[in-house]
Amino acid sequence: MIAIKSLCEHDLRALSCLQKKCFSHEWSDAQIMQQLQHKRALSLGVFDPELIGFIFIRTLLDEAELLQIAVAPTKQGKGFAQSLLDALITQLKEEGISRLMLEVRRSNNSALSLYRHYGFVEEGMRKAYYPSLGAGGQREDALLLSFYCSGK
């Protein structure tokens, strides 16, 4: 049975391991710890029974920025990212957050599909924002997306 719950410092080791599996440029343990301890941060994890996915956001006034979302490669495509987003959006609405923003690689089709399913809208682009995924490759654009929690 899956469970979604707030993450804390005790989850650092599992988060660090999951970061290495999911990202080519993962956060350091110090960066993860800063997220877990930040007063305007929300960090949720999905457990089955071990940590298999997480979402990190920061809030400022009535807006939030999605910093990272990840699901273990062996668990992707099974609805865990949707479960995290459902829990996040519910919590943001309860806290009076009106807008959730994020940036995503232009080539990340699975993430774009997920975000479009939720009604995120494209509101801009950052040219050559992301480092190349391969040696000698070109930097990649980031698409800026927003989800309006109160409906726009």
pLDDT tens-digit readout, 117-145: 999 999 999 999 888 877 777 899 999 99
| pLDDT at res. 151 | 54
Average pLDDT over residues 76-91: 95
CATH of the domain at 98: 3.40.630.30
| Number of domains composing the chain | 1
What pTM, to 2 d.p., does this model score?
Answer: 0.92
Q: In what order do the strands lie in the sheet with 3-6?
A: 3-6, 41-47, 51-60, 63-71, 99-105, 140-148, 121-130
**Residue with tokens 């305007």, as numbered in its chain:** 40
- State the catalytic residues: 103, 115
d(CA 55, CA 44): 5
d(CA 48, CA 24): 24
d(CA 33, CA 16): 10
Residue ranges making up the domain that contains 89: 3-148
